[in-house]
Amino acid sequence: MIRKALGEPLLHFFLIGAILFAVFALRNPDAGEAEGERIIRVDEGDIERLRQNYEAVWNRAPTEEALAGLVENYVYEEVLVREALALGMDQNDAVIRQRLRQKMEFLASAAADAVQPTDAEIAAYYEDHAADYTRPARIGFQQIYLGDTASQADVAALKAALDGGADWRTQGRMSLLPPEVPPSGEGAISGQFGPRLFEALSAAQEGAWIGPVASGYGLHLVRITEKIPAETLPLEQVRERVLADLKQARAEEMAEKQREFLMSRYTVERVEAAQ
């Protein structure tokens, strides 16, 4: 009978509860004297906040019954939080420590975000970080795929045919690579053909067929159709980006100052392990 009773989940709940409250009593021997201080005040501000949170989630105002349930749940949550704190459950808890750290770090971020940069500050940041708002050079080209290998004689004959007016689209070997690439940056070209092709294109002039040039797939004849140099985008075009970057930089600077200030208030003592 006793063994059966010990297997009941409800009994387990009461046993665990009794253990918890016993621990609480041991850690807080004077808790019974503070009964009068166990008051949870719910004011109009709390109720309004609960109502607004409900409306934000359900897109409608709560009924009186629903609002009463929200208040009761809020009170019970406060009870659980206070009891957990009294039991020291917040101590040495990695999740709680991380959350508290995030809240403290958020203070610096919020402080930086609250100050709106002036037009002059935005312009100055843009000038100091112009490289971040520069569109890289772009190259457009045509290519004829030659395969893995190509003899000098075959390349010379192909160039002669192209110089004589042969349709370049009908030359070379079949491949899945695009025969013509619109003006693109290094990342796009290297991602499709490999870095060696972009390096060769960068050193070449427009108009003439050059090669063979190696890519990640083999050899090519290439002809540059357009070269667009790198250009710094005007502030008006990237203003929102500059503003976001400036705010981020300020938040990082504020966080570092907060760290230095708070750390300066403490003395760290390293305790060596006993030999």
DSSP annotation string for 39-94:
-----HHHHHHHHHHHHHHHSSPPPHHHHHHHHHHHHHHHHHHHHHHHTTTTTT-H
Which residues span the domain enclosing 60?
14-91
Query: Residues 143, 222: one domain?
Result: yes
Q: Is 252 among the domain residues? A: yes
Query: Residues 173, 222: one domain?
Result: yes
Q: Is 64 among the domain residues? A: yes
Query: Residues 66, 185: one domain?
Result: no
Query: Residues 145, 221: one domain?
Result: yes
Which residues of the chain carry a pLDDT beneath 70?
A: 1-37, 274-275
Query: Residues 122, 257: one domain?
Result: yes
Query: Residues 239, 221: one domain?
Result: no
Query: Residues 147, 214: one domain?
Result: yes
**Structural domain total, the chain:** 3
Q: Is 247 among the domain residues? A: yes
Query: Residues 142, 225: one domain?
Result: yes
Query: Residues 250, 223: one domain?
Result: no
> What per-residue confidence (pLDDT) applies to 28?
52
Q: Is 62 among the domain residues? A: yes
Query: Residues 224, 144: one domain?
Result: yes
Task: Give 171's DSSP letter.
Answer: S
> What per-residue confidence (pLDDT) applies to 18?
53
CATH code, domain with 141: 3.10.50.40
> What per-residue confidence (pLDDT) applies to 104?
87
> What per-residue confidence (pLDDT) applies to 19?
55
Q: Is 100 among the domain residues? A: no
Q: Is 273 among the domain residues? A: no
- Percentage of the chain beyond pLDDT 90 is 57
Query: Residues 246, 192: one domain?
Result: no
| CA-closest candidate to residue 167, choices 152, 154, 180, 177 | 180
Q: Is 149 among the domain residues? A: yes
Q: Is 105 among the domain residues? A: no
pLDDT in tens, 150-193: 899 999 999 999 988 899 999 999 999 999 999 999 999 999 99
CB 240 within 8 A of CB 120: no
Exposed, middle or buried, 18 (CB in 10 Å: 0-12/13-18/19+)?
exposed
